[in-house]
Amino acid sequence: MQNKRRVVVTGMGMVTPLGTGMRKSWEAICGGQSGIGPVTRFDASQLKCRVAGEVKDFNPLDFMDGQFTRRFDIFMQYALAAARMTVEDAGFKGKMDNPERAGVIMGTAVGAHNYFRPVFSLVEQNKLNKVPPFLILNAAGNLMSGVIAIEFGCRGPHHCVMDACAAGTNAIGVGFKAIQHGEADMVIAGGAESPVNEIMMGSLDALGAMASRHNGEPHRASRPFDADRDGFVSGEGSGVLMLELLDSALKRGARIYGEVAGYGNNCDAYHYTAPSPEGKVQADCMRLALKDAGVEPGQVDYINAHGTATVLNDLGETRAIKAVFGEHAKKLAVSSNKSAIGHMWGAAGAVEAIFTMLTLKHGIIPPTLNHEFPDPQCDLDYVPNTARKADVKVALSNSFGFGGINGTLVLRKINE
């Protein structure tokens, strides 16, 4: 462990259903607010699930010009906006000082679905000469990372991670490893998504994975670990972090939110959509992250759970936590941000990592909303309904995605 390069977080930015900007989203989630409401982007009356976590206050022209908004899907707009906020928060102005040592690694699950919708009708009408030239760039998922790299002159490691619901977490993990292994000194890392459209919502509704019992009370729809849960709620937005070599951050006098101490990644190899029910592989993922960080299970204070509010995920994650932490599991605080913002797909892990970093910094654990009817099989401390003050020194952030892909980050407080 002594020879490993240490990686810290020096800037963060986010666009969420709770608001544009880190402060607005943080204050809202700690205040027990919900960003989930009726679907307004399209007529969802034919669907069983008619609620979503839509971003409501985003003005792209605050962050980019009109030409960019016409050329690129809204998920890329969220990503660029969050990246701008992150770079500014980290204390940089414009281009990176040492561009060959600065990377960009972003994640998404489904990418530019919104850009494609109107193009489908052109193809059906045989108007191929009207297909916009920028469609091909939106189809290339790596362009999200590319536009951020171009904006800030980052010529170091560059990837777009398409790892379903674990994409944001794994993008941070890959960026962390790039710095730890000496390939970069700083990495802009995170995720972005905008899946609230007819295609995605229709498919998920047919799959039967989404919440449908609380259309009349949207704020009650996302119910992780609650006995009355009936599926997840889709959300949208972006979360981006500036990962930086500790020595570099100290040298330039940067504000440090906390440390990325460890990362684990594996695959259930079990089912296309369902997690392995006993949580064994998810437990192994957490163990890998703890080992990478050199942290014992008893040192962990808090877990920001994947917590989707599906029966299989909630039971499997609870079992995995018990398998890893044993008796200490009863002492852990566990909460799910998805109760307030919905499941932001490829952006989820990045946004949740930001909230976890803010927990380390400010000593407040956001609650699991709508935890009204305890499930006997989900019997951990889920921080129900109200934020909690706590001195959290070590935390985990979990993401488990379709295809069985798993990612866990170990995040640690740095004493100032």
Active-site positions?
A: 165, 306, 343
Q: Among residues 257, 239, 187, which one has the least CA distance to residue 81?
A: 239
Q: Where are the beta strands (DSSP E) in 203-273?
A: 237-245, 258-267
Contact between residue 111 and residue 197 where contact means Cβ atoms under 8 Å apart: no
Contact between residue 338 and residue 309 where contact means Cβ atoms under 8 Å apart: yes
Helices (H), 90-166: 113-124, 135-139, 143-152
* CA within 13 Å, CB half, 321: 32
Backbone angles phi, psi at 241, to 5 degrees: -125, 150
Please work out, in degrees rounded to the nearest 5, the angle formed at the alpha carbon of residue 297 by the alpha carbons of 295 and 299: 65
Report the SS3 class of residue 317: helix
Give me the helix-helix angle, 143-152 and 74-89, nearest 10°.
Answer: 40
* CA within 13 Å, CB half, 317: 30
Spatial distance between the Cα atoms of 317 and 115, rounded to a whole number of angstroms: 35
Pairing of strands 333-335, 302-304: parallel
Report the SS3 class of residue 346: helix
Spatial distance between the Cα atoms of 322 and 308, rounded to a whole number of angstroms: 18
Contact between residue 99 and residue 156 where contact means Cβ atoms under 8 Å apart: yes
Contact between residue 310 and residue 232 where contact means Cβ atoms under 8 Å apart: yes
Contact between residue 96 and residue 153 where contact means Cβ atoms under 8 Å apart: yes
Contact between residue 366 and residue 402 where contact means Cβ atoms under 8 Å apart: no
Q: Is the dihedral of CA 74, 132, 63, 105 positive or negative?
A: positive
